[in-house]
Amino acid sequence: MIKQGYINKQIKKTFKIGQTTSFIKQFVFSVVDRALRERYGKDYSMKCLQSSYAIQSILSSMGIKSTLYTGGVCFAEVYKNEEIMNWSGFWDKDHHVWLLTEFREIVDLTICELHLHPSTSRNDVIPIPPLWWNDLDTWPPVIRYLPEGEISIMLPEDEMEDLEEFKTSVLNDKDNMIRQCDINDVKFSPIMEGVKSINILTENGNPWLCQCIKFQDMNIPFPTWVQNRINEYINSK
């Protein structure tokens, strides 16, 4: 059992340091990742809204505020045994959903399944680690988040029912994990949390980040839509 006192200490520490603690990050991702796999299976990669909504619900139960955002995302797409690389993600008419915490952290779990998204044509794409990113002013050149704004959830009735059922099941799973697990059982990795963390992950041999070193050396230009949006952000400052 994970004592409520320990969780309360983690929440208190989160507000004290101004960013979510490692324990809470791993706890939340563990619960939602398992729930996504059980409910949606192979459709996991397309459930960015459901994932973000569920994460928001758990954080809300801890008193941590967050907001759903939509927009474009662009990541280096690297492969296991090939020098040819490309960009992947969602942009232009394809949108992605992620979460922004009150501490200005971008939270994106389903990006770890981008390599299994139906739009991905190859089966040798290296998975991207999920993000709980704590420095919006500093990004590696292989990642871009291009927000278009906050979202209000408006879905057909059957999809709204599914979303609320998923939220309920996730909150139940959270409570069950607290009752049935020990602190040492809460493990979820890797998570990209900032420049320092990706440097450590790279040193430890994370496949995606290690291949991204080669990707950067190739100087592959961003897709036109992505570059135009980046220019708009720069010019608006």
Looking at residue 231, what is its pLDDT?
92
pLDDT > 70: percent of the chain: 99
How many C-beta neighbours within 10 Å does residue 18 have? 11
- Separation CA 50–CA 53 (nearest Å): 5
Predicted confidence band of residue 236 (pLDDT cuts 50, 70, 90)? confident
Least confident of 41-55, 112-126, 180-194, 202-216: 112-126
Q: Do β-strands 131-133 and 106-108 pair in parallel, antiparallel, or remain unpaired? A: antiparallel
Q: Are 138 and 194 in contact (CB under 8 A)?
A: yes
Looking at residue 235, what is its pLDDT?
85
pLDDT, mean over the chain: 94
pLDDT 10s digits, 152-194: 898 999 999 999 999 999 999 999 999 999 999 999 999 999 9
pLDDT 10s digits, 114-150: 998 988 878 889 999 999 999 898 999 999 999 999 9
pTM comes to 0.94
Looking at residue 81, what is its pLDDT?
74
Looking at residue 91, what is its pLDDT?
93
Looking at residue 206, what is its pLDDT?
96
Q: Are 226 and 63 in contact (CB under 8 A)?
A: no
Structure tokens at 160: 């709204």
- Separation CA 170–CA 33 (nearest Å): 10
Torsion of CA 69, 145, 124, 115, to 10 degrees: 0
Structure tokens at 91: 């942009």
Cis amide bond preceding 141, omega within 30? no
Looking at residue 152, what is its pLDDT?
87
Quick check: 94 pLDDT over 80? yes
Give the start-end residues of each E strand in the chain. 66-77, 86-90, 96-101, 106-108, 131-133, 143-150
